[in-house]
Amino acid sequence: MSFINYMAREINCKLVYYGPGLCGKTTNLQYIFERTNPEHKGKMISLATETERTLFFDFLPLSLGEIRGFKTRFHLYTVPGQVFYDASRKLILKGVDGVIFVADSQIERMEANEESIENLRTNLAEQGYALERLPFVIQYNKRDLPNVASSEELRQLLNKSNVPDFDAVARTGVGVFDTLKAVAKLVLTELRKGSGG
């Protein structure tokens, strides 16, 4: 649910990075944080365990610039990927405007990817959202590793509705901004379509 503030002349949107444990959601945010000018970003917050696994969420506020005199602000969130944190994942999806699914390209993580995207679908449905109707993009991460499935295989498995998808190596930043831009564009396009609420 975007928030339009006529007084401050700004629009706020919420993007959520979803995906199985250790797929690179936090790494995406860290890269965006490192590579964004200080005037366009706020503090990055990570609620993580002592072993740096996401416990509740990561949060990064970004401002992208102005459209027709309105500042566009995006709040980026990640969910905890580990299976048993499902209750927390549901909470973070509340009020979401756009979703990025980060898939782990390694062959041994295919089942985890499938399970996670199904979990995303279920958790969205619980709140009355259909994944097909939300701005949604997919990122195939860790393309630099030796044991990866081909992009084509990943696409067949995870991207049945043919949404924009990107190869990525989040650690070095490959594909990170392409993914973010794609979903941000979809969200803004959706705002235009859904004008008036």
Partner 1 sequence: MVNPQMVMYEEEFNQIQVVVDRLVRDANAKVVFIVDKNGQLIAAAGDIDNVDTTSLASLTAGNIAATGGMAKLLKEQEFATQFHEGEKANIHIQLVGNRVILVVIFDAKSSLGLVRLRVKKASEELNHVFETLLKKAHEPGTDSPFAEITDEDIDNLFND
- Residues in touch with partner 1 (CB under 8 A): 1-8, 11-12, 14, 42-43, 45, 47, 56-57, 59, 61, 64-65, 67-70, 72, 75, 87-88, 90-92, 94-95, 127-129, 181, 184-185, 188-192, 194-197
- Supply the minimum distance, in Å, between the C-beta of residue 191 and partner 1: 4
Residue number, 48 or 191, with CB nearest to partner 1: 191
- Supply the minimum distance, in Å, between the C-beta of residue 42 and partner 1: 5
- Supply the minimum distance, in Å, between the C-beta of residue 150 and partner 1: 29
Give the side-chain half-sphere CA count within 13 A for 91.
8
- Supply the minimum distance, in Å, between the C-beta of residue 186 and partner 1: 10
Residue number, 7 or 146, with CB nearest to partner 1: 7
DSSP 3-state assignment of 183? helix
Residue number, 3 or 115, with CB nearest to partner 1: 3
Angle at alpha carbon of residue 50, lines to 44 and 54, rounded to 5°: 50
- Where do the H-state alpha helices sit in the chain? 25-34, 86-93, 110-126, 151-158, 176-193
The Cα–Cα gap between 54 and 48 comes to 4
For 184, counting Cβ atoms within 10 Å of its Cβ (0-12 exposed, 13-18 middle, 19+ buried), the class is buried
